[in-house]
Each structure stands twice: as C-alpha cells, then as structure tokens.
A and B are shown apart, each in its own frame.
Chain A
C-alpha cells in the first residue's frame, strides 16, 4: 500500500487513469439536472434506499460480523466498476456492475451499496455528483439491479441454464440503467420541436452507440466472472443464495460448471 499512497505520481496516476473512465457516460454530472428534477429523483429513490437501509440494519443487528462482509461487497462493487472492459466495437469502457451485484447481493442491499459507491465516485473520482445523486441512484442502484434481478429470477424459474440467466440479467441491468438515464435527461431537457419524445430519441441514440455494445460486453464479463466464482468460491455463493436459488437443478448446473 505504501508505494501507492506515498507517490502521487506513478502509482496513483495509473489507478486514476484506469478509474477516470469508470462508466462516466452514464453518471449524470454535477449540476446537470435542474433543482426540481434533482429533488424529484431523490424523492423517487428514497423509499428503495430506506428499504435497503432497514434490511441492512436488521441484518447487521442479527449478525454483527455481516458488517465486514457487506463492506467487502461494497468494495467489490466499487472495484468491479473500475475494470477496463473491451467493448465489441473496439473501444474501451467500464462495467456498471449492477447486474452481478444484484445477482450476488440482492437488489435491496444493492440499493445501499450502490448509493455508497455512487457517493464515493462523486467525491473521490468526480463521477456523478451530489445534486444528481438521487437520479444516479434511481438508475444505477434501483432500476438496474431490480430489472436485472427480475430477469435473472424469471429465467431461473423456467430452468434456463445459470450462465444464460446471468448473461441476460447483466445485459438487462446495464441496458435499463442506460434507458432510465436517457429518460431522466429527456425529461430535464425536452426538445424544442418534438418535446420529451424527441429528446428521448436524441439522448437515447447518442448514448446507444456506446451503451448497447457495452451491455453485451458486460453480460459476457459477468458470465466469465460467475463461471470462475462457481469453481473457486462455491461456499460464498451458497451462503449468498446464488447456487441455491434454483433448487437442486441449480446445484447440478454448478457441478457441471466446476467439472468443466
């Protein structure tokens, strides 16, 4: 740790270079939204975050040791969003990590972990902002995880193989985050000619260039990570309920993955 903390030159700049592109395309920047919109999105995301905080507090009260595991999960979410992802178009970007986070830790916990991560990104990396925290939480810590988790659970219920469900969950989580952000921007800046729908088309198309290939890339990365985790961390995944979510069949599938 000492070389990195002492030298603000090479060590930190390398990390910074990796981090400064952390999915900045989907974080609404500080001051971008008018005050009324910023407050409204804060109010919209508050119930989900409060629900997550209550379940987290209950969990920590029952099992004090969970604080450390939840902290580790938060750090994992933060670091996951710093991985450099080769996009299928050839450019580079970073995953949102909301899909994998929701599958591993469940959406209510992800609402809290996502809020903490977004706060860190706003203050430590200048990604996102404090006035736009509500809007970013709504898209990245609420809608993304819930949409991804819903698709994952639905597919698992119909006995779709684990890795296919994981890919679809991560893909939908990323894509829904991008769609919600486009809606947020369109509502704030309606087109002078065609109103909100026209603005939605503009913002949607300008971000689609990077986000649709990125959603595919994130789905692929999530599958790769999950395959390795099934091999190396079966205990943790079982404790988190990932391998038991589909009953006996899920266990069979995971055994197959280990055998491969």
Chain B
C-alpha cells in the first residue's frame, strides 16, 4: 500500500461518507484557487493544516512527506516568476513584482494541495471508486479503475522484488547492466500484469462472471451536521477574506 492510502484506511474519519470529506477538503481547495491569495489562500492554508493535524489526526511527518512532492514543482515554477525576459536594460532582469507573484503562487498552491490532501488522507480509494457510478461515471470505467487500483499494489510489490533480485545479481553495477535490468523490469511488469489478468479472468469465469465486478462497499451515511459545519466553515473563510482584504492589502 502507498503511504497516503494506508493512512486513509486507518484515519479517524475513515467511516465518514466520502461526500462529507469532499465538501470540506475539495471546498477548501476551490476556495484556495478562487479567493485572493492574500489573505484568502493564507487563511485556507492555516485552516486546512489545523483540520489535518487536529480533528482528522493525520501524522505531521506523513503529511510533510506527501506535501513536499508538489512543493518541488511549485518552487521550480515560482522561480521563473522572479525574472523577466526582454526588459529595457538587460535581456534577463529581475521582475519588479516577481517576488510578490511567486509568493502568491506558493500560497495558493500550498493551500490547494493541503485541501486535496485532507480528502486523500481520510478517504481510501476503495471507498471512493465504487461510489463514482452514482456520480455519473460509466460503470465500465469504474470497473477498469477498480482492477487498475487493486492490481497496481501487487505489481509494485512484484517490481520491488524483481529489482532486489536484479541488484543481488549485480544487475545495477554498471550503466549497461542498469539499462538491461530496467528493460527487463518494464517487460516483466507487462508480462505479469497480463498473466495476472488472464488468471483473474479464469477465476472469475469459474464463479459465473457476467461482466460486472461486485464489491462490498462499507456502509456510510452523509452526515448533515458535518456537511453543514463544513459549509459554515467555508462561508466564514470567505467572509473573513472579504473583511480582511482591504486592511491587509
């Protein structure tokens, strides 16, 4: 299992309906990109961080490990805003409002990422995917996504073992050997994926497979109280932004 999914399965909010968590987490993300970065995104960032580390109970270390991935892209992208090309003096020069734009971008991206991470750290994929049919996604696509999801972990595990075996046989000692091992790893992934699919198909055919994959989804109800509280929090953030925007900018 991947760390975010493993954390979602053992989350305090695991038994809550995905709609509850989507209203809060994705609502924060939408606010982060639609409100002015200062003070809107900053308020969203603080709120998301408080909810993640407080009521949702996400461990800080796991959150940082997940959050630093998009941060790398954001910093690289923000650096380009610091300079301008084709100015009157030099071809490349420092942009006057570059630091402000870069700061706003980092604020907005950080807040939006934390909103999605709130949803991801509390909602396992296995709870979300089967419910997408009710949201209008064709059942065939959801079935393919379910098989992809379940098979990915097995394949990743296989790949780790193959890599270890290749390393033990000095498969990564030289550049040529590394390339050969990598090619073998990619081809093995293909062969194992298709082999597993054909064995799964044989097993399902023996159980009367009719084209639909029926899976048990843990029962959960949309909590009106939680959803109303989430909406109230989001509205408070909007109101606070509108009130503070003038004095703080």
Residues in A lying within 8 Å of B, measured CB to CB: 1, 4-5, 8, 12-16, 18-20, 24-25, 27-35, 38, 53, 56-57, 60-61, 64-65, 67-76, 78-80, 82-86, 100, 104, 112-113, 116-117, 119-120, 122-127, 129-131, 185, 189, 191-194, 198-199, 201-203, 206, 220-221, 224-225, 227-229, 232-233, 236
Q: How far is the CB of A29 from chain B (nearest CB, A)?
A: 4
Contact check, A86 vs B179: say whether CB atoms are below 8 A apart. Answer: yes
Q: How far is the CB of A135 from chain B (nearest CB, A)?
A: 13
Q: How far is the CB of B76 from chain A (nearest CB, A)?
A: 7
Contact check, B197 vs A74: say whether CB atoms are below 8 A apart. Answer: no
Which of B2, B179, B182 touches A16 (beta carbons < 8 Å)? B2
Bound-complex Cα distance A15 to B154 (A): 12
Contact check, A233 vs B183: say whether CB atoms are below 8 A apart. Answer: no
Contact check, A125 vs B69: say whether CB atoms are below 8 A apart. Answer: yes
Contact check, B5 vs A224: say whether CB atoms are below 8 A apart. Answer: no
| Chain B residues with CB below 8 A from A68, complex form | 147, 197-198, 200-201, 204
| Chain A residues with CB below 8 A from B213, complex form | 67
Q: What is the chain A residue whose CB lies nearest that of B110?
A: A31
Contact check, B156 vs A79: say whether CB atoms are below 8 A apart. Answer: yes
Residues in B lying within 8 Å of A, measured CB to CB: 1-7, 26, 29-30, 32-34, 65-67, 69-74, 76-77, 79-81, 83-87, 93, 95-98, 101, 105, 108-113, 115-117, 119-120, 125, 128, 138, 140-141, 143-157, 159-160, 175, 178-180, 182-187, 189-191, 193-194, 196-198, 200-201, 204-205, 209-211, 213
| Chain A residues with CB below 8 A from B120, complex form | 122-124, 126
| Chain A residues with CB below 8 A from B210, complex form | 64
Contact check, B182 vs A5: say whether CB atoms are below 8 A apart. Answer: no
Contact check, A12 vs B86: say whether CB atoms are below 8 A apart. Answer: no
Contact check, B140 vs A60: say whether CB atoms are below 8 A apart. Answer: yes
Contact check, A221 vs B85: say whether CB atoms are below 8 A apart. Answer: no
| Chain B residues with CB below 8 A from A199, complex form | 80, 85
| Chain B residues with CB below 8 A from A227, complex form | 183
Contact check, A64 vs B70: say whether CB atoms are below 8 A apart. Answer: no
Contact check, B148 vs A31: say whether CB atoms are below 8 A apart. Answer: no
| Chain B residues with CB below 8 A from A185, complex form | 77, 80
Contact check, A194 vs B86: say whether CB atoms are below 8 A apart. Answer: yes
Contact check, B83 vs A202: say whether CB atoms are below 8 A apart. Answer: yes
Q: How far is the CB of A9 from chain B (nearest CB, A)?
A: 10
Pairs A–B under 8 Å by Cβ, sample size 10: A4-B157, A12-B2, A24-B73, A25-B73, A38-B33, A65-B205, A69-B194, A80-B186, A116-B144, A202-B85
| Chain A residues with CB below 8 A from B65, complex form | 16, 20
Bound-complex Cα distance A75 to B189 (A): 9
Contact check, B2 vs A233: say whether CB atoms are below 8 A apart. Answer: no
Given contacts A67-B144, A192-B95, contact A225 B190 (CB under 8 A): yes
| Chain A residues with CB below 8 A from B71, complex form | 29
Contact check, B84 vs A192: say whether CB atoms are below 8 A apart. Answer: yes
Contact check, A71 vs B84: say whether CB atoms are below 8 A apart. Answer: no
Contact check, A233 vs B194: say whether CB atoms are below 8 A apart. Answer: yes
Q: How far is the CB of A169 from chain B (nearest CB, A)?
A: 15
Q: What is the chain A residue whose CB lies nearest that of B145?
A: A116
